[in-house]
Chain A
């Protein structure tokens, strides 16, 4: 049975996590700031991975970790908006920006949360295969949570639509998820640690 949680926003200002992962749509400027924060937080995960080799690997990993999310945001989100608009789904550019920002910020926040653990594992595990496995697990977890946030936000706008339209939108969302996974994996495989060279 679902328990009701105390409304922390009434007692204290919302935490960084609550602000980054909130599904409420704000102004475009706020959404872009949230997006940037998410991408910056994802770079922390890359830094943690780069600690395995140190030096330039820190920068390479930080850039590649953020680049996976950036690619999904830049290449995927506009395409999803166009496709949803084509089937007459009631989505606005701001709502899509908000959904994308929430999704990428959530993924970035999870990656940043995993960074301390991953730093320990990346530095102390000897086997390159095990280090690559840990890296993939973290990226999969964060990417999964990001996609969950995105699909939740978009599906929330589909309530009250006809079953046919809802089916089309869900099919598009499913296709987008597959595309996003492939795209992020393609970019993240540039991480040296996943090639076994770090």
Chain B
């Protein structure tokens, strides 16, 4: 049996849900309100997770984290409806996109999304409850990341750096789509899901650089991915009705070039 612990279908949670629905795998959804509960409570063993936060897949009792590798695991363990070609170049390309998302795109989207959307959401909640939840976080860097949103203490430099990274991502996606409809190889694949999970938010967060005029190939590719039934099914797991504005702190910005 497959169980997925996840919050609102945006970012990493969206990625895992799209993969499950693309592969048409039956699974039990375990929805976590990351703002209500301690995000990494002990309902499940979170032995291996850099952020110690959802999404976490549990298969035969084994917790599986890190959504790119979780996705590759599902594609390995359930070969029907493959999302990878098996080709060495495509594997390399997927891993390079994954690293880029983990170090550049996802941290940028996390910072900009939290500034614009999580900060006002947290401001409406009971501060002491949020503080208690944050105090239960396993690592100081994650406590810091949530406190930054709770206190709205993003510096201008951090925001500018995140906008710069978002611009790097837009350019990289535009370049990759110059002679292909999809990011890696001739067909829709895990690489598209990996990048889409974060790039979906770019037009909302950096409308000047991710507009249909400024980035036409990105715009058309986003529409192609959004049109897939798996994306609608993944978004239907939302309980807020507005998953595209539900942001949680992303992975940390690289500490060392």
A complexed with B: no
